[in-house]
Amino acid sequence: MPLPLSKEQKAEAIHSIRRFASEKLDLQLSELQAESFLDYIFKEIGPFAFNEGIAEAQKFLLRFGEDLPGTCFREPMTYWEESGSKVVRRKPQD
C-alpha cells in the first residue's frame, strides 16, 4: 500500500533507513536499495498499521455513538430560568 510521502519525507525516510542499516546492521545500502526497502515495508507491513488504525477509529466511533445522547443532550425550556442559578435536570432515559 503506497503511502503518499512528499519528496522531502521520502528522502528523510531513505536517509534514516540507510543510517539504521549502517549503524545497527553494519550494512551499506545504496539510495536505491533503501528506497526499495521502504517500498517493501509500505506494501507488506503498512497494511497491518493501516488496518489497526481503522479498527481503533471504528471502536472510537462506536463508543462515541453509544453515548451520543449523553454527549449531545441539551436541556430544553431554559430561557426563563433565573440568571446565575442552575437547575439540575436529568437527561432522558432510553
DSSP-assigned letter for residue 63: H
pTM for this predicted structure: 0.63
Q: What is the mean pLDDT of each run of 10 residues along the chain (94 residues)?
A: 84 98 98 97 94 95 82 78 61 60
pLDDT score at 53: 94
- Mapped onto helix, strand or coil, the DSSP state of residue 42 is helix
- Mapped onto helix, strand or coil, the DSSP state of residue 64 is helix
Nearest to 3 by CA among 55, 56, 46: 46
- Where in the chain are the domains? 7-68
Contact 75, 89 (CB under 8 A): yes
Nearest to 64 by CA among 74, 75, 56: 56
pLDDT score at 92: 59
**Distance in angstroms (rounded) separating the CA atoms of residues 29 and 70:** 56
